[in-house]
Structure 1
Amino acid sequence: MFGFGKKKQSVLSPLSGKLHAVTEVPDPVFAQKMLGEGFAVQPDEQVQEVLAPISGKLIKLFKTGHAFGIVGDENGLEVLVHVGIDTVQLKGEGFELLACEGDTVSAGQPIVRVDVPKIISLEKDPITPVVFTKKAQVESVSSPSGDVKAGAKGCTVTLK
């Protein structure tokens, strides 16, 4: 089976907006891939539900609503969705939790509701990185560019 057996997994965009490479995120922790490979979405300026990008277990849901982590059912892929840059400083303002830590979730299921215009009015960048936090799992990420709808494919991950 040499050269075969590489698994590919589609990962959904958690928000509607414009797709970007994770290297374009204006935060060195994400842009330099310190947390892992991934992609980002600059969300449309409206209230949106932030969707689970994969099916799995919600292993972390910050009470502030600004970020959550999922371990996938399919391949154990670990995904972090971080809504905005420095949004933890908002202490939950502009966010509403729609799920609970420990829940089993389906790809496309709403996890958090975010008031994107409010985030912007509070002078935070709403760009949302989606990163694969176990670097040893991921060989490559292929992401289209341009506009994307929440729940549409955000990228394809090739697993090691």
Structure 2
Amino acid sequence: MSPAVRSPVAGVVVALDDVPDPVFSGRIVGPGVAVNPEYTAEGGSAALAPVSGTVAKIHPHAYVITAAGGRSVLVHLGLDTVSLEGRGFTVLAAEGEAVSAGQPVITWSPAQIKAGGLNPIVSVIALEGEESALAPVPTGQRVAAGDPLMTWA
């Protein structure tokens, strides 16, 4: 059985080819899938751990969780959001902390990201993974936060 990588946010699945950033669409950091997040104007939502493991790296706009066995998954919240220097993000976990799949890692507001002129799309990347080892859910499918997003054989 292939381990499931779960969606960190609710939204609609988007192929990496359709992410308007060459770092992700070009698979420079690795293969994966993206989610166009659902959001309301009222406020923030949690971005969840896609797998159980250890927080290997965390920034306000992105984090890496390394699962048992050494596989690491990058979650990147929005495009060019590093330029926000942490504004609009609340980090809930620390590097080295053990987390469970589905546990909130960061809260953020996709609506604020969009209102600020940035794209809130969330890229979920299998670091050092092979494209052929991934089986993502179909593009255009709606997923809830915590739903299986792809398997990594």
Q: CA RMSD in A?
A: 1.3
| Aligned residue in 1 for 2:58 | 61
Contact 1:142–1:155 (Cα < 8 Å) also in 2? yes
Secondary structure of the residue aligned to 2:3 is strand
Shift of 1:103: 0.4
Note if 1:35 corresponds to 2:29. yes
Post-superposition offset of 1:135 = 3.3
- Which deviations, in whole Å up to 9, do the C-alpha atoms of 1:55-108 show, x marking residues without a partner? 00101011xx100011102x3211110000000001111111111111010000
Residue type of the partner of 1:22? Answer: L
Higher strand share: 1
Q: 1: CA distance between counterparts of 2:62 and 2:71?
A: 17
Q: Who wins on radius of gyration, i.e. which is larger?
A: 1
Q: TM-score if structure 2 supplies the norm length?
A: 0.92
Asked whether the 8 Å contact 1:94–1:116 carries over to 2, the reply is no
2:18 matches 1:24: yes
- Residue identity opposite 2:151 in structure 1: T
Aligned to 2:129: 135
- Matched with 2:108 is 114
Name the residue aligned to 1:152: 147
Q: After superposing the two structures, state which structure 1 stretch, 120-129 or 141-150, moved more.
A: 141-150
Q: Provide Cα deviations, 1:126-152, integer angstroms capped at 9, x if missing partner.
A: 00100011136x642111231100001
Aligned residue number for residue 79 of structure 2: 85
Amino acid at match of 1:53: P
Residue identity (%): 38
Counterpart residue type for residue 21 of structure 2: D
Q: Which amino acid aligns with 2:6?
A: L
> Which whole-Å CA distance do the structure 2 matches of 1:103 and 1:154 have between them?
23
Greater than 4 Å deviation, 4+ residue runs:
none
Q: Which runs of 5+ in 1 are unaligned?
A: 1-6
Identify which of 97, 105, 117 aligns with 1:103.
Answer: 97
The TM-score with structure 1 as length reference comes to: 0.88
Q: Residues of 2 paired with 1:84 and 1:20: CA distance?
A: 13
Matching of residue 15 in structure 1 with residue 9 in structure 2: yes
The Cα offsets for residues 1-39 of structure 1, whole Å up to 9 and x where unpaired, read as xxxxxx621110000010111221110110011111101
